[in-house]
Chains A and B, each alone.
Chain A
Amino acid sequence: MHDDSLLLGTELSVTDLTTLIKRTLEEGFYGLRVSGEISNFRPASSGHWFFTLKDSKCALSAIMFKSSAWRVNFKPQEGDKVVVTGSLDVYAARGTYQLKCDTMEKSGSGDILAMLEKRKREYDELGYFAPERKKKIPIKPKRVGVVTSATSAALQDILQILSRRAPSLDILILPATVQGSSGAETIANRIRQANLLLLCDVLIVGRGGGSLEDLLPFSEDAVIQAIYESEIPVISAVGHEIDWALSDFVADLRAPTPSAAAELVSQGILDLRQKVESLNLAIHKAMQHRLQLLEHRIPSTIAMQRSMTHLLEKREYLLANAGQSMSQAYKDKLEKSTQRVLLATRELQALSPLAILARGYTLVFDSQGKAIHNQEEAKVGEHIKLTFIDGSRKALIEE
């Protein structure tokens, strides 16, 4: 089929012909490097890019799939002059062909990259990137300086992350122009200013994402020199993860993004917060353990209580016993006394003069109530009183 002569006069189906074209184009046009201007740029929600690549005379429809598009470090704009690499792709269902792009860079960026590589080599040879020159980023900084645009989203990200992770950290913003021809000078000036006035103990130097040209100030000699000379440790945080600038190499630490720089700077404080928290927990646990051990010894207290109760019961019993014997003794004594009283009473009764009267004797008293014991005392003619057991009578002595 590939032999042209075979096509002459041969009847082909659309599919046959399209398949032939597809194979011819795709096998014949690959590893292409095409320069042109972007037109009718249509990014799809799927992440794929559709656009037209054109120059003054011709236009070529082009596609860049998401898998390649995310690697492009700028957002293509209408009229951007770019260089793409890729291959031709035939869309059989429509019979159209397009340029399938694998990479895209701005025209001239190849030159820029070559220039940066050259500069990087030079500084490397001068020892600017030597690992032993890297200063340590303080674990617990007191004030962090941020050299970036005062109005940028990158700064907002940094402030937000720092206030969340290390609320005690002071922040000093050193506003700089981060793109364009004056950028490098203002960035370098801010780094020097921070050093001269010793304004902070760590510096973040960076900006958010942008095109290769946008990031150029961070690769300029002035910035490289200022970072190299900085006594304050510098964290370079330029663009996105995939971007790089020479500041990344000369700085003491490279952060992939400004947000990541904020995280790095606050990591020590965050770690310390966690350490304090875990120590606090450890003390609590140790104390709890200690108390638990003591609690385990409490059963012995219960035993002590039990033996105490036992002792008390025993004493109570003894006391009750003693009480009883005491009251018994008392009762005995009472009884004995009663007996004695009774006996005494009886004895007394036996001695009573009344008892004599009961036997028939009579007591004689004179008119003054004095007992008359003999004849002498009983005078004739006197009235006397005779007392019997049951009463008395008056009598007159006649002779």
Chain B
Amino acid sequence: MSFETDVSRIEEIAQKLNASETSLEDSLALFEEGMLLSKKLEKTLSEAKSRVEIVLGDEKESAEITPF
């Protein structure tokens, strides 16, 4: 799933959890799903996995990219 669909899924879950017609069993399952998703997204957004690289060489049409 894409980031955006994940976000809207969590929004949907929050909405359903607030609706009184959702049963307790469903609520628990939704809650669990929501927590898993939000943890996953949080990880994607804040995990320090970024690469910092630098382009070497002056040739416009070729590039050697190495870690900075």
Contact = CB atoms under 8 A, between A and B. Distances in A.
Interface of A: 140, 150, 159, 162-163, 166-175, 186, 189-190, 192-193, 196-197, 199, 269, 272-273, 275-277, 279-280, 282-283, 286-287, 289-290, 294
A189 B51 contact: no
A193 B62 CA distance: 8
A169 B38 contact: no
A175 B17 contact: no
A273 B39 CA distance: 11
A159 to B, nearest CB: 7
A168 B52 contact: no
Dominant secondary structure at the B interface: helix
Contact of A287 (B27, B42, B46, B58): B27
Interface in B16-31: 17-18, 24, 27, 31
B17 A287 contact: yes
B42 A169 contact: no
B54 A173 contact: yes
The list of the 6 closest CB pairs from A to B, nearest first, reads: A286-B17, A167-B48, A280-B38, A173-B54, A283-B34, A282-B14
B48 A283 contact: no
Contacts of B41: 272, 276
7 contacts: A150-B54, A150-B68, A163-B48, A168-B44, A174-B55, A287-B17, A290-B24
A186 B58 CA distance: 8
Nearest to A155: B68
A189 B45 contact: no
A279 B38 contact: yes
Nearest to B43: A168
Contacts of A186: 58
- Which one of A189, A197, A269, A283 has the highest number of Cβ atoms from chain B below 10 Å of its Cβ? A283
Contacts of B52: 159, 170-171, 173
